[in-house]
Structure 1
Amino acid sequence: MSYPGSGGPWQPNDPNQPGSGPVPAQPQQPGYPQQGAYPQSGGFPQQPGYQQPAGYEQGYGYGAAPPAPKKKGKGPIIGSIAAVLVIAVGVAATVFMLNRGGDDPAGEASPTEAATNLVNSLSQGDVLGVLESLTPAESALMVDFNAKSTERLKELNIYKDDADPNKLHGATIEAKNLKYDEAAAEKVNDHLTITKLVGGTVGVRTDMTELPFTEEFLDAAFPDGVMAKESTNEEVDIADVVKETGEPVRIATVNVDGEWYPSLFYTVADYALLEADKEWPAESIANNGADDAEGAVREMVEASIGADVERIIELLPPDEMGALHDAGPALLEEMGTPPAAEGVEITTLETEVTDAESGGQKVLLSNLELTVEGETVKVSRDGDCYTVEAQGRTQPMCADDLSTEMGDSTMSPEMQQALTNLASGMMKNTGVVVTEFDGKWYVSPLRTYTELGLSAISELTAEDVFALIEAQ
């Protein structure tokens, strides 16, 4: 299958999805680009009692509303409607993402049909239809991770054994009499068209009590019960929103192999450009990957140190991150020339490669040596321990050490063990995920982030989860 010269995601997060949300702060992989440097995908299981990592903004993982233009104070309204219509509410309300198998996603003959198919699937509570309506790259990003995390949450006694990832839980969505202004559709290029929704109604009902948590988890996490205020019931008239904001609801659609698909990530990019009062650039940033997985990581590190944003975008997967390739020139114009990290040079970067749970290859750090303003710094990894040598001193950091830093002297032995297991999973398995496309290798920030989520819970037990809850 071929993709447009670019085609892919910014992956939103679901603030209402129990499989996503706050996660513990994580140790930065030495020598690798900071997590906050890239668009991030959320959606991995909530670790009770911890906060979002620095640089992570709630609302930009699976299912969050794309940023809406701030006109006449109605940004939140149009944002919520756009969320419903580009799977944001559909996936936001979905507790699990479907582990889709079998046929490839089926596209539509026109951009309007593609957008309508998505909305109809949402209204029917058809998670399969929702995922199959998205671009193949976007579906692939969601499916494997959510299948694995759903099963893991069952093992941790957070989800019930009969929790069904094929069903829409905790929400009912109903769209009626949708109307598009086809004459106003914006054809950006040969593979991207922005459709305009101008009429109809969208109703959304959410109910926390319908989410498939186990009784044990609910009793521990919500000792006072799930409050009724966690449920909502709202209907919005799209024509009223258009009248009040002066903007139709925009849904980006992408042509892949001659068929049209609504794209969550292109829609987010479209709203970001609209917010910045910029148009889609006439030219895209080229796809220019590395010859192998380790080379992609090395080149990404070097580009990050040199603040070479264009090279960073070139090294992002064209199927997953096509929206950023297409919008990249506008981003570069907005950023100007950021300063490089002066006096920093990598002299040694040794890595090992394993299969990533989230798909692709995971590149793990073995040894790193760099000079920083004339000083040599060495970092090495052995299992769940890192050793840093600098200025004549050697400092080891293992899972036990990190768990002590995360907790305090008053924590129980059970809490100490839970934090140690959490830290061990991250420190053993944290790496950069790289994928192959047309014979070249690209760094996938979205798969890297979801891989981090799987790593964070890889060593946890059900007893650990409840120890973390009880400590709050």
Structure 2
Amino acid sequence: MTTPSDPGSPWGGPGGHPQGGYPQQTPPAQPYGQPGYAAPQYGTPQHGAPQHGTPQYGTAPYGSPGYAGPQYGQPQYGTDPYGRPPGGQGTMTPVGGPGGQGTGKRGLVIGLVVALVVAAGAVGSYFAFFRQNSVAAGSESPTEAVRTLASSFEGGDLAGTLSTLAPSEATLLTDPLDEAVSEYQRLGLFSDDADPNQLGGLTVKAENLRFDESAEERLNDHLAITKLTGGTLTLEADLNKLPVTPEYKRQLIAEAGSARDTATIDIAEEADEPIRIAAVKEGDEWYPSLFYTIADNILQEEGADWPAQPVPAEGADTPAQALRDMVDAAVAGDLERVIQLLPPDEMGVLHDAGPLLLDAAADVEGASGAEVTDLQTETSDVEGGTRVTVTSVTVAAEGTTFTVAKDGGCYRAEAQGKSEQLCPDDIARLAAEDSGDMPPQVLQMIANLGDGVMKQGIGVVTTEVDGKHYVSPVRTVTELGMTVVRSLTPEDFRAMLESDGF
């Protein structure tokens, strides 16, 4: 196949390159498809088996599980979020300078909240809880739910900490675990004898945490805000305890400048007002919530109140229809329908905050002017949901129809009466032709990545709630990351990290 060189190419760029082109690189020593090239194996288990993910250490590889929001309050390996040099000990200074003047107070508040709610999830000690097939234990009241969370910290039981989180949120972190553990062992990051029940690296100790129960706010029948007023948090990172292979462990420690780092926060001294931690009711019990805690603090920062009524969930009859409805709503600029199609359990926070989002978007231009006239998909099971893979999409805009379809391990584009096919060897060849001084191993990584992603396709994950199907953004991002991870070889993974200055 030859890629077109005219501006009318269905791939959009001069010479058939995707828009934006490719960086200048040097030809690889072993071009894709020539002797010496080994096609990647997509790891074990194969796609379609139960899918899981893994937390990331240091520089996060692709495929981070679950929610990947700001990592507030967690000591980073190599860079202290509060400005202290690597390896420093002692008490954290809040952002904004000593005493936490100005906006640093609010940043500290959010940091403490997220540290309380998800510090365990950042490291992976929670594997043990789910390997025991335990059932998350809730509490009878919101404050008691958060107090239970605090007690799990005080006992040093990071594995038990996740059991106190809202089950709908906890599963976002745990459903992707198994596959990613296996994949990162295959790639050489995790040691072969790494025990998921013994993963470590972060210790969180909470002492004398105090709550103002009289100030608890019941916002509706399933959301309450508790108030943390005092106590201390001590966070200690120890890279020596990470279950990574010696090669990567040495690099992590070299990057960090020290294998250990400790920071202590006195809540009463650093926060000038009680720290708000959200709790949600699922079933008949209350649980601390990461998503609602973040959203509540953002609303407090903006001086906004939680809406009295949510945007109701309205799912589709099938996984494929859920994706089609979501695409149509996005193209039409219908934000309300987009929110309706989000899972009411995992993304309940966006349903509750939905009216505020609609108000904020009221002045934004709506419909794109394009129309998806045809969307073909295929489905497969993944852990916690269904993967809906797009096999063909046709878009009409300004009198032109553009079609992209999956064709085996390649993709075919049709537009303006032209039809061209793009295959993995084309991606590798184009990268080699445009290369400058890019190392051969990086070019090989590009070839393997293109081959793997094209063969697997791009998938969106849907979940089923009460017989209706919804599009899960968190699970979709996780699956996209794992699509990349499955495509890499151990040599590719090493080249990727080295090219990013790992």
TM-score (structure 1 length as normaliser): 0.81
Whether 1:149 aligns to 2:170 is no
SS of residue matched to 1:178:
strand
- Using the TM superposition, name which of 438-447 and 227-236 deviates more: 227-236
> Which residue of 1 is the match for residue 56 of structure 2?
17
- Using the TM superposition, name which of 224-233 and 182-191 deviates more: 224-233
Deviation string for 1:231-261 (max 9, x for gaps)? 4211111111233xxx311111111111111
Matched residue type, 2:444: Q
Residue from 444, 460, 468 that aligns with 2:488: 460
Query: Could you list the runs of 5+ residues in structure 1 that have no partner in the other structure?
Result: 1-12, 24-41, 46-55
Q: Please, what is the CA RMSD of the aligned residues? A: 3.0
Whether 1:377 aligns to 2:406 is no
> Which residue of 1 is the match for residue 362 of structure 2?
336
Is the contact between residue 126 and residue 168 of structure 1 (CA under 8 Å) also seen in structure 2?
Answer: no
> Which residue of 1 is the match for residue 213 of structure 2?
182
> Which residue of 1 is the match for residue 448 of structure 2?
421
> Which residue of 1 is the match for residue 5 of structure 2?
none
Is the contact between residue 93 and residue 206 of structure 1 (CA under 8 Å) also seen in structure 2?
Answer: no
Measure, in 2, the Cα distance between the counterparts of 1:431 and 1:63. 33
Whether 1:119 aligns to 2:145 is no
Residue from 358, 371, 375 that aligns with 1:345: 371
> Which residue of 1 is the match for residue 297 of structure 2?
271
Residue from 240, 254, 261 that aligns with 1:232: 261
> Which residue of 2 is the match for residue 389 of structure 1?
414
Is the contact between residue 252 and residue 263 of structure 1 (CA under 8 Å) also seen in structure 2?
Answer: yes
Deviation string for 1:366-403 (max 9, x for gaps)? 22112111111111012332222122333433333445
Structure 1 residue 146 displacement after superposition:
1.9
Is the contact between residue 21 and residue 43 of structure 1 (CA under 8 Å) also seen in structure 2?
Answer: yes
Is the contact between residue 182 and residue 195 of structure 1 (CA under 8 Å) also seen in structure 2?
Answer: yes
Change (3 A) 1:448 1:346: same
Is the contact between residue 453 and residue 483 of structure 2 (CA under 8 Å) also seen in structure 1?
Answer: yes
Residue from 90, 99, 108 that aligns with 2:120: 90
Structure 1 residue 462 displacement after superposition:
1.8
> Which residue of 1 is the match for residue 64 of structure 2?
43
Whether 1:451 aligns to 2:475 is no
Measure, in 2, the Cα distance between the counterparts of 1:176 and 1:119. 9
Residue identity (%): 41
Change (3 A) 1:137 1:72: closer
Change (3 A) 1:184 1:58: closer
Measure, in 1, the Cα distance between the counterparts of 2:210 and 2:498. 50
Is the contact between residue 75 and residue 237 of structure 2 (CA under 8 Å) also seen in structure 1?
Answer: no
Is the contact between residue 20 and residue 44 of structure 1 (CA under 8 Å) also seen in structure 2?
Answer: no
Query: Which of structures 1 and 2 has the bigger CA Rg?
Result: 2
Change (3 A) 1:448 1:112: same
Deviation string for 1:292-344 (max 9, x for gaps)? 11111111001001111110000001111001111111111222243234431
Residue from 113, 133, 151 that aligns with 1:102: 133
Matched residue type, 1:327: A
Matched residue type, 1:417: Q
Measure, in 2, the Cα distance between the counterparts of 1:168 and 1:83. 21
Number of aligned residue pairs: 421
What are the residue-to-residue correspondences of 1:213-224 with 2, within 5 Å? 213-219=244-250, 221=251
What are the residue-to-residue correspondences of 1:42-81 with 2, within 5 Å? 43-44=64-65, 59=71, 72-81=103-112
> Which residue of 1 is the match for residue 462 of structure 2?
434
Structure 1 residue 406 displacement after superposition:
6.5
Measure, in 1, the Cα distance between the counterparts of 2:213 and 2:183. 44
Matched residue type, 2:153: L
SS of residue matched to 1:311:
helix
- Using the TM superposition, name which of 186-195 and 336-345 deviates more: 336-345
Measure, in 2, the Cα distance between the counterparts of 1:80 and 1:322. 22
Is the contact between residue 114 and residue 290 of structure 2 (CA under 8 Å) also seen in structure 1?
Answer: no
Report which structure shows greater RCO (CA 8 Å, sep ≥6).
Answer: 2
Change (3 A) 1:327 1:342: closer
Structure 1 residue 282 displacement after superposition:
0.6
SS of residue matched to 2:306:
coil
Measure, in 1, the Cα distance between the counterparts of 2:364 and 2:127. 38
Is the contact between residue 121 and residue 130 of structure 1 (CA under 8 Å) also seen in structure 2?
Answer: yes
Is the contact between residue 134 and residue 263 of structure 1 (CA under 8 Å) also seen in structure 2?
Answer: yes
Measure, in 2, the Cα distance between the counterparts of 1:325 and 1:194. 17
Measure, in 1, the Cα distance between the counterparts of 2:206 and 2:283. 29
Measure, in 1, the Cα distance between the counterparts of 2:258 and 2:495. 27
Is the contact between residue 121 and residue 173 of structure 2 (CA under 8 Å) also seen in structure 1?
Answer: no
Structure 1 residue 58 displacement after superposition:
5.5
Structure 1 residue 409 displacement after superposition:
4.8
> Which residue of 2 is the match for residue 211 of structure 1?
242
- Using the TM superposition, name which of 269-278 and 315-324 deviates more: 269-278
Measure, in 2, the Cα distance between the counterparts of 1:110 and 1:20. 38
Structure 1 residue 443 displacement after superposition:
0.5
TM-score (structure 2 length as normaliser): 0.76
Is the contact between residue 63 and residue 90 of structure 1 (CA under 8 Å) also seen in structure 2?
Answer: no
Whether 1:364 aligns to 2:389 is yes
Deviation string for 1:93-151 (max 9, x for gaps)? 44775544423211111111211111222333423311211111112111121222112
Is the contact between residue 127 and residue 168 of structure 1 (CA under 8 Å) also seen in structure 2?
Answer: no
> Which residue of 1 is the match for residue 271 of structure 2?
242
Structure 1 residue 404 displacement after superposition:
5.6
